[in-house]
Structure 1
Amino acid sequence: MNDFNARAKKIKLAVFDVDGVMTDGRLYFLPDGTEFKTFNVLDGLGIKMLMKMGIETAIITGRSSLIVENRAKSLGIQHYFHGREDKLTALNELLAKTAYDYEQVAYLGDDLPDLAAIRQVGIGMATANANDFVKKHALAVTQARGGKGAVREFCELILSARGQLDTLQQQYL
């Protein structure tokens, strides 16, 4: 865990996939073709906690969805890349825009399109429901599944390793 703590202290940017990470990975369609997704409110607060402690946030997702765009806006997520199957290319564009380097990034994903980014960054993690090959190559795996608290767990692990979680939680007493 000491290596994780050292890595966490360098994090300036947290990046999230959506389907299978911020959601349970299932795609829901109404008879008229309208898509809908469900998000976990606990995950949302985790993202806000990161931002409160000065960590920028981003979404890189392979699908394009107005629902996800609205969720990103409602949380105040600073960077949103959609329709991007090559996650590492999108991440590289984001790093060029922010001037951060790989060791300053934490990434949470669940499937093969996330793997190159997970392997490249300072903290590359997979959700409990992630593809087994992805989990094998991640620095760590959450205990929670995507859409079921994995994002919150990821956020709290980083904040705890940085010594910031207790301070944030105390504000709610």
Structure 2
Amino acid sequence: MTADLLQRASGVRLAVFDVDGVLTDGKLYFLPDGGEFKTFNTLDGHGIKMLIASGVRTAIISGRKSAVVERRAQNLGIQHLFQGREDKLVVLDQLLAELGLGYEQVAYLGDDLPDLPVIRRVGLGMAVANADAFVRQHAHGVTQARGGEGAAREFCELILRAQGNLEAAQSAYL
């Protein structure tokens, strides 16, 4: 974790996540009846809950639409959910106007080309370890963990650490 990443994370007031390939392993599972399912990592989920408890707002912006994602967002307490939106920067613009925040106060975690305009624009734009190589090249930082395997937890803990809240979040369980 570099000093630059910690500096960028110190002012974050909104953390935004992509879903497929970030909160999941990126695989799409389709059932014979046309339904689908996704698997989520509980470590990632608890990281998001700790981030919310520290006062950082959270959002999901996903190009796909899924009832499973809606349920996961509700379970975690994620405040803002946008699905079926490839135009992620447009969505973020609208959300920032609503919340009265600037790009420098946003952290984003993504994995593929549709995430790149947001990654390049926000104060802290990160990619997961198994993200597209071009996306990793243009991100401020890359997680050690792969999408769906703890990358979101790592991202959340970076923000918590930079804001001096990680130790308190962890020690609450001692």
TM-score by length of 2: 0.97
Q: Which residue of 2 aligns with 1:79?
A: 80
Residue 128 in structure 1 maps to residue 111 in structure 2: no
Unaligned runs of 5+ residues in structure 2 are none
List runs of 5+ in structure 1 lacking aligned partners.
none
Cα offset for 1:101? 0.4
Mapped contact 2:6–2:158 kept (Cα < 8 A): no
C-alpha deviation, 1:94, in angstroms: 0.8
Q: Is the 8 A contact 2:106 2:124 kept in 1?
A: yes
> Could you tell me which residue of structure 1 aligns to residue 51 of structure 2?
50
Q: Distance in 2 between matches of 1:20 and 1:132?
A: 13
CA RMSD for the aligned pairs?
0.7
How much has 1:4 moved relative to structure 2? 2.1
Residue equivalent to 2:110: 109
Distance 2:81 2:31 in 1: 25
Tell me the equivalent position of 1:153.
154
Q: Deviations over 1:33-66 (max 9, x none)?
A: 1100000011000000111110000000000100
Q: What is the rounded CA distance, in whole Å, between the counterparts of 1:44 and 1:4 in structure 2? A: 22
Aligned residues: 173
Percent of aligned pairs with the same residue? 66
What secondary structure is seen at the aligned counterpart in 2 of 1:26? coil
Q: Distance in 1 between matches of 2:8 and 2:24?
A: 26
Partner letter of residue 106 of structure 1?
Answer: A
Hey, which bits of structure 1, 4+ residues long, moved more than 6 A? none
In 1, Cα distance between equivalents of 2:4 and 2:144: 19
For the residues of structure 2 that align with 1:93 and 1:73, how far apart are their CA atoms? 21
TM, length-normalised to structure 1: 0.98
